Amino acid sequence: MGKLWKNGRIVLQPAPSADPKDPLNLPFWRKFVAIFVLCFFGAMAAAAELILGAMLPIFVLYYAGYDPKYIKVLTSLPVLMMGVSNLFLVPIAIAVGRRSVTLATGVLAICGILWAGYSGSLASHIAARCLQALGAGTVESLLPFIVQDMVFVHQRNTAISGVFAAQGVIIMTLGIGAPYIIIDLDWRWVYHITAIAAGCFLVGVFFFVPETRWSRTKAQMRGDLPAEAKERDPDMQRVPIDNIRYSPRTFRYDIALFHGKADFRAGWDALYDTLRTFFYPHIFFVTMLNSAMIATAFAAGYVAAPALLTAPYSWPFLHLGFSLFSVLIASIFAYVITGPMADWIANTVAKKRGIRVAENQIFNLILPTLVGIIGAVIFGLAGSNQSKYGWPVFVTGLGFMAFGFLAANTVGAVYVLESYPQLAGPALVNIASFRCLIAFVLSFKVSEWVADMGYLRSFGMYAGIIGVFACLLPVVYIWGPAWRKRWPANWECRY
């Protein structure tokens, strides 16, 4: 990274080119609309995975004749599929383009949701949810990848936090509506309505999200302008758009599915870069912390409903979705704290240092980590002592864990992007794919753990896992720059 501040003004990184088709040259309203539809499309595509907790009691009754372990597979296997899909989606997007892969996986996710709604057996239902999860994997890595293509470094926290905060809004909306839909219509209509909403946002993606794949030089990634431009105007922040040398951006260009030749060698290189960068210590530690946070949030979602529906809380089934108000509040705070506020902190520190280094983001991970640990402890304490601690304490713990999960997603994504900006795709795959794979392992047996050990010991274990990796944050902050020098990457930005 080059200097983020010069003469009291922010340096645009990467430096946009003079080509009007450069995604960084999109007007603000186009970027806003594109990010908006991407955020809510991704949230709708993933929502069926994340609101399963509200539907789980219904599935237990509906599939009462089946072995309970298969119900567990229905809840947890899609998380594994999301992790697996991320390993391949970004390399394919690097090879053929972001836009075509996003639209294709969107169709895949919607087909999976519709199939789940029409499934005639538990096996068919599990297969449908796995298909949907393969398409929904885009929300974890491909969507932040596209967003970072369109915004400058000093705006990344704000933009990427929207991708994950939108999940909270959608989860709350569907979560509250799901019990009413199930009672008044049928559980299948939860899938049908989700598919319709996701389809509407996918149409928005088709019309408003252009291809963002764009090759940049090392100098452009640092924010350096061409020498002749700086000679004409030393205070120039960006090269003027050249509509004579380059063809203009058109509607036909924007809605095209493919731009330029496919580069499958770059896709293979990206897959290799993903596998090798995962073992870099700074990437590994942040990925493991994210894995623990997402595993804790998913585990809580799987076991919250039984506690709320049974005595002494004894919530009516219709009111079960209102527990997700805490997730809505968490998503709002996650957006503000790890979005605009995190950008302000990182940019302010960069103004003093002169450059914005990836380790600035470690400061932004402290609060989500602490809140996530506290949330796990509160949730476990209330779950094990329900007669002593009312449901507000239990739901508060759920909200705290949701905040930690959503906020850590944002900060973790920005950290790996700023660690290896020239390997943006592979770096995002690390934190998106491996955290889902690890979260699957950590949350697969949560129901048995709660039954055998109780809520407090089970979620105390999750809090302990988060705490172990949280203790390594100072290590990453101190040694992170040295590790990045020890394991540098090719500065040719092919991705």
One-character DSSP codes across 241-253: P-TTTSPPP-HHH
Q: How far lies 51's CA from each of 47, 150, 166, in Å? A: 6, 30, 14
* 236 is a domain residue: no
Helix (H) or strand (E) holding 105: helix 98-118
Q: From the CB of residue 471, how many other CB atoms can be counted at a distance below 10 Å?
A: 11
d(CA 75, CA 60): 11
Q: How far lies 431's CA from each of 211, 342, 428, in Å? A: 23, 19, 5
d(CA 475, CA 315): 45
**Model pTM greater than 0.95?**
no
User: The tokens of 146 are what?
Assistant: 């596209």
User: What does the buried/exposed string (b/e) look like for 123-145 if buried means 16 or more CB atoms within 10 Å of the residue's CB?
Assistant: eebbbbbbbbbbbbbbbbbbbbb
* 184 is a domain residue: yes
Closest C-alpha among 136, 135, 161, 133 to residue 35: 161
pLDDT tens, residue order, the chain (495 aa): 556 667 667 777 788 888 899 899 999 999 999 988 888 887 776 666 556 666 777 888 888 878 777 777 887 788 888 888 888 888 888 889 889 999 998 899 899 999 999 998 999 999 998 898 888 877 677 888 888 889 888 888 888 888 777 777 777 777 788 888 888 888 899 889 888 988 998 999 999 999 988 887 777 777 776 655 555 555 566 777 878 888 888 899 989 888 878 888 888 888 888 888 888 888 888 888 988 998 898 888 888 888 898 889 999 888 887 888 888 888 889 888 988 888 888 787 777 766 777 888 888 899 999 999 999 999 999 999 998 999 999 999 999 999 998 888 888 888 888 888 777 777 777 777 777 788 888 888 888 899 899 999 999 999 999 999 999 889 988 898 888 888 776 545 555
Domain that holds residue 341: 25-225+261-486
Give 8's DSSP letter.
Answer: T
- Number of folded domains that form the chain: 1
**Strand partners of residue 9:** 6
DSSP, residue by residue, 418-449: HH-GGGHHHHHHIIIIIHHHHHHHHHTTHHHH
- Three-state DSSP state, 487: coil
* 69 is a domain residue: yes
Say which residue the tokens 């991970």 belong to. Answer: 365
Domain with 182 in it: what CATH number?
A: 1.20.1250.20
* 233 is a domain residue: no
- Three-state DSSP state, 170: helix
Cβ-proximal residues to 32 (8 Å cutoff; 6+ apart), any chain? none
Say if strands 5-6 and 9-10 run parallel, antiparallel, or are unpaired: antiparallel
User: The tokens of 231 are what?
Assistant: 């000679």
7: left (phi over 0), alpha (psi -120 to 50) or beta: left
d(CA 210, CA 199): 18
* 36 is a domain residue: yes
User: The tokens of 466 are what?
Assistant: 């988060």
d(CA 325, CA 155): 28
* Alpha helical stretches, state H, 185-310: 188-208, 218-222, 227-232, 251-255, 264-277, 281-309
**Cβ proximity of 2 and 13 under 8 Å:** yes
DSSP, residue by residue, 288-303: HHHHHHHHHHHHHHHH
Give tens-digit pLDDT for 190-234. 889 888 988 998 999 999 999 988 887 777 777 776 655 555 555
* 12 is a domain residue: no
* Alpha helical stretches, state H, 138-187: 142-150, 156-184
Cβ-proximal residues to 58 (8 Å cutoff; 6+ apart), any chain? 182, 187
Length of the chain as a residue count:
495
The backbone torsions φ and ψ at residue 493, rounded to the nearest 5 degrees and listed phi first, read -85, 85
Give 10's DSSP letter.
Answer: E
* 141 is a domain residue: yes
User: What does the buried/exposed string (b/e) look like for 88-120 if buried means 16 or more CB atoms within 10 Å of the residue's CB?
Assistant: bbbbbbbbbbbbbbbbbbbebbbebbbbbbebe
* 3 is a domain residue: no
**Cβ proximity of 49 and 173 under 8 Å:** no
**Strand partners of residue 479:** none
Q: From the CB of residue 271, how many other CB atoms can be counted at a distance below 10 Å?
A: 20
Give tens-digit pLDDT for 123-175. 999 999 889 888 887 767 788 888 888 988 888 888 888 877 777 777 777 77
